[in-house]
A and B are shown apart, each in its own frame.
Chain A
Amino acid sequence: MTDESSGVVAEVFQNEYVPVGATVADAVVTVTAGGGGTSRPAHGAPAAEVIMIDCSGSMSGERLVQARKAAAVAVDTLRDGVSFAVVAGTDWAQMVYPDRQTLAVADHATRAAAKDAIRHLKAGGGTKIGAWLTLARELFLADRAEIRHAILLTDGRNGESTGTFERALEQCKGLFVCDSRGVGQNWSAAELIKIADALLGTADGMKDPAGLEADFRSMIEAAMGKTVAGVTLRVWTPAGATIRFVKQVHPEILDLTGRRTDVSARVGDYPIGAWGAESRDYHLSVELGSDTIGDIGEEKLAARVSVVRGDDVLAKGLVRVVWTDEEAKSTRLNKRVAHYTGAAELASAIQEGLAAREAGDTVTATARLGRAVQLATEAGRSDTVQLLGRVVEVQDARTGTVQLKRRSENKDVDIDAEIAALGSRKTTRVRPN
C-alpha cells in the first residue's frame, strides 16, 4: 500500500500464516524512495557537511598524505551552496576550514581555500572522538540546513572514557547523520558501530589508506543525493503486543529497537534518517499478547508500518497474522525474513565473539566466533570465513569447530577481525522468488 504521489513505496514481505497458538509475527518491510520521481528536485533541500579528519600522532606519514587527498576530493565533490567545514581531530577538535567556528558556503573560492588549508594538516596528539562530534554538532546547530551529514575518519581507538563518548553520541542523536571510517591497524569496529548505530550512518574500515579517496567521494556523492531528512518509521501494534525488535537490515544492519519515541499507547516512531533515491529493508518482529492470539483461520494485524516525515505519511504497509492448522502454510519460510535473520545472527556472533576475545573470555569468544564461521560458511560468505581465520583456527567450518588463536604482536591479525565485524553488517538482497 502506498501513496504514489509521495514517490515512496513500502512493501511487506512475510509469511502471515502461523501455527495455532503462535505469538510472534516477523516481516521485512522494503522502503523505496524516488523510484518513480520525487516531488522535490534532488538539489532542492539545503544541506550541510562536516568532514572530521583524525590528526593524531599515529596518522603521520602515508596515512595523513592519503587523508589530505581524500578530504580535498570530498570538498571538490560538494555541490555549490552546501554549507561545510573541515575539522582536525586530536585531543580536541580544531577548525581547519573555515578558521572560525562556523560553516562556509561551497563555491569555487571557498573550495580552493579549504583545500589549501587541508594541505597544511599536521599530525600530533591523541584521539578524542566525542570532542570531534561535539564540535560538529555545534557547527550544525548554528546552521539552518535540513540535511546534515558528517564524515569521521580515525586511525585509532577513542581515548575518552566510555561515558564521555556515549554522552557526546547521545547529544548528537537525531541532529546529523555520520558515516565513520577506520584506517590503518588500530581502530575499533565496536566504536565505529556505536557511531553508526547512534547517528544512522555507515561504518567501514580499511588497512590501506590509498582507498580513502574513492571512499570519501562516494560518501559525499551519497550525501548530496539526499532530498529529505528526519524521516521516521511509525509502527502501530495491537493492544498487549510488544516489539521484539526493529532493525534496518539492508544495506547495513542497524538496530533501531532502542530508538523508539512513543507517539501514543499503540504507536511508536523509529528514526530512519535522511533519504534520497534509494531502497532499504527493515526487519520488524512483534510479540502479540498471549490473550490476543487468534482462533484457527482468524486474521489480525500485527503492525501497521508507515514512513512518516513531519505530518506527512509517505507510505504504508500492513503486517498480518493468520492462524492456521495447515502445516504446509505455517512452516513456509519467507525468503527475505530468513535471509536477514541469518545475516543478523552472523553479525552479532562476530561482534560478540570479538568483544569476548577483547575481554579475555576465551570460552565465549570461541563459541561465538565458531558459530560465526559456521553461519558464514552456510551463507557462502567465504571472504568473512577467511578474515575470521586470522583470529581462529578453523577445524571444521561446517560444524563451527574452532580454536582461538593466541594473540600475536602482529596488529594486522587483529584488524582483519575488525574488518570482518564491519563487513558482516553489510547485507545483500535476495532475489524475489
Chain B
Amino acid sequence: MTAACPSCAAPTAPTDRFCESCGNPLSGPDIPAAGGVWRSSRAAGGGPCAGCGGVVGDDAYCEDCGLRRGAGLDRAEDDLPGVAAVTDKGLRKGRNEDAYAIGVAGGRRAVVVCDGVSSAPDSDLAATTAVDEAIAVLLGGGDIPAAYRAASDAVAELAGPGDRFDAPACTFLAAVVEDGEATVGWVGDSRAYWLDGAGARCLTVDDSLAGQLAAAGIDAGALRLSAQAAALTRWLGADAPAGDPHLVTLRPGTAGILLLVSDGLTRYATWSEELLLVTDGLTPYTTWSDGIEGAAGAPELARRLTDFARDAGGADNITVTAVPFEPSRGEPRP
C-alpha cells in the first residue's frame, strides 16, 4: 500500500523513510507544506531487534531477548542549507536520550534540541516527541513559546496512570533564525552559544541552582555545592513545573555561528578551546575567526565537537547543532 507524504502529498513506497519528492521524513508530525524541509534524529519504527534480530513488540521491547528499542537514533547526522546537526549516544549510556530536529522553510531556519532526563523512564521518547512537535510548529510559522507548549503537552501525554511521580521528561532548547535575527528559547540545561571572532558566548542560563549562581557571577565551583545543585529546576513532562520558556533575541552585527548543544558536550569545560584546534590537514588555527571560517562548514563543526566530547570520555549523550549566520546577507550560508 502506498501512502501520501505528510509534507507534500507525493506518493511514497512502503519501505521509504524519507519522501522521494520533498525529502522530508515520512513518520512524525504533519508539517505544514510551505516548501519546508526538516530532519529529526527519531529512529524509524519497525525492523528486527538490534540485539538479537528478534521481533520487537508494540511496547518497544524485543519479544525474544527483551532489549528495548530506543526512540532516538544512537548516532545521527543531518545537514540542510544553513543548519546542521549531529547527535551521538556517547560511550557510557545504553541509549541516546538526546534528540534534535532541524528544518528550513522559506527564509526561516529552525533548530530544536531536547535532552531526555535519564532518571525518568522513557525519556528518549520524551525527547524525540518534543523535537518533532516543536519543529512542526516552528516551520509552520509559530513562535518558540507556541512550539514549547506543543512539545510540553505532547510529553505530558506520554505519562501513564502510574507515572505521576516518575513521568517521561526532557529539556527544551530551540532557535529560530530569520531576517537577520536569532531568537533562542529554553527550559532546562541544554545551552545555546554565539560563536564569533571574540570567542564563545553562552546565551542561556541553566535551570538549576548552579546555573543561576553562575549567571549571577558567583563561582559555583568554589562553593563546593552538592551534586543536587546541578539538578534541574525546570523540565518538560507530566510532573513539570508550569511556565513559559526563557527567551533571548540577538541581532549580531558580525558573522558567526549559533550553536545549540546538550550537556553531553558542555560538561567538558574545555570544549570551546577545541575550536582553535581545527585542522585542515594538520595545522591548528590560531584565532577564533580562523577556526570558524576554516571549518568546512557547519556540518564539520558539529561533527568535530561531537567527536571531541566522545574522546573526552563520552559520559553522556551528545548533541551539537550549528546555524551559520551572515548579517550582511540575511540568507543562510550553505
Q: In this assembly, does B95 line the interface, its C-beta being within 8 Å of a C-beta of chain A?
A: yes
Q: CA A296 – CA B165 in complex, angstroms?
A: 25
Does any Cβ of B come within 8 Å of A304's Cβ? yes
With a 10 A CB-CB cut-off, give which of B64, B65, B67, B93 has the most chain A CB atoms.
Answer: B65
In the complex, chain B residues whose CB is within 8 Å of the CB of A342: none
Q: Could you tell me the distance between the alpha carbons of A266 and B65 in the complex, rounded to whole angstroms?
A: 10
Please give, as numbers and ranges, the residues of chain B lying within 8 Å of A325 by CB-CB distance: 92
B155-171 CB mask vs A (1 if < 8 Å, else 0) is: 00000111001000000
Q: Is B59 in contact with A298, judged by CB distance below 8 angstroms?
A: no
Contacts of B165 in A (CB 8 A): 433
Is the pair A12, B162 in contact by a Cβ cutoff of 8 Å?
Answer: yes
Cα–Cα, bound, A361→B82 (Å): 83
**Is B193 engaged at the interface, CB distance under 8 Å to the other chain?**
no
A322 to B122 Cα, complex, angstroms? 12
Q: Is the CB of B161 within 8 A of A2?
A: yes
Interchain CB contact under 8 A, A300 and B92: no
Does A322 contact B94, Cβ atoms closer than 8 Å? yes
8 Å CB contact of B94 from A239, A292, A297: A297
Q: Give the CA-CA distance A322 to B93 in the complex, in Å.
A: 10
CB of A1 within 8 Å of the partner chain: yes
Interface extent on B, as a size class? Answer: 20 to 34
> A11, A16, A297 — which one has the most chain B CB atoms within 10 A of its CB?
A297
Residues 5-20 of chain A, each 1 if its beta carbon lies under 8 Å from chain B, else 0? 0000101100010000
Among B59, B62, B65, B95, the residue within 8 A (CB) of A318 is B59
B52, B62, B66, B68 interface centre (most CB from chain A within 10 Å): B66
Are A297 and B59 in contact, with the CB atoms below 8 A? no
- The smallest beta-carbon distance between A362 and chain B, in angstroms, is 47
Question: A9's closest neighbor in chain B, by CB?
Answer: B161
Q: Is B308 located at the chain interface by the 8 A CB criterion?
A: no
Once the chains are docked, how many angstroms separate the CA of A413 from the CA of B95? 60
Is A294 engaged at the interface, CB distance under 8 Å to the other chain?
Answer: yes
Q: Is A278 interfacial (CB-CB < 8 Å)?
A: no
| B66: contacting residue among A4, A16, A292, A433, CB under 8 A | A292
* Across-interface contacts of B94 in A (CB, < 8 A): 294-299, 322-323
Residue contact A239 to B65, C-beta cutoff 8 Å:
yes
Is B285's CB within 8 Å of the partner chain A? no
Q: Name the B residues within 8 Å of A298 (CB-CB).
A: 67, 94-95
When distances are taken between beta carbons in the complex, the residues of chain A under 8 Å from B62 are 238, 301
Q: Which residues of B contact A241 (CB under 8 A)?
A: 66
How does the 8 Å CB contact mask read for B72-103 relative to A, with 1 for contact and 0 for none? 00000000000000000000111100000000
Name which residue of chain B comes closest to A236, CB basis.
B63
Query: In chain B, what residue has the closest Cβ to A13?
Result: B162
CA distance A138 to B88 in the complex (A): 67
Assess whether B61 is interfacial by the CB under 8 Å rule.
yes
Q: Which residues in B have some Cβ–Cβ distance to A below 8 Å? A: 52, 54, 57, 59, 61-68, 92-95, 121, 160-162, 165
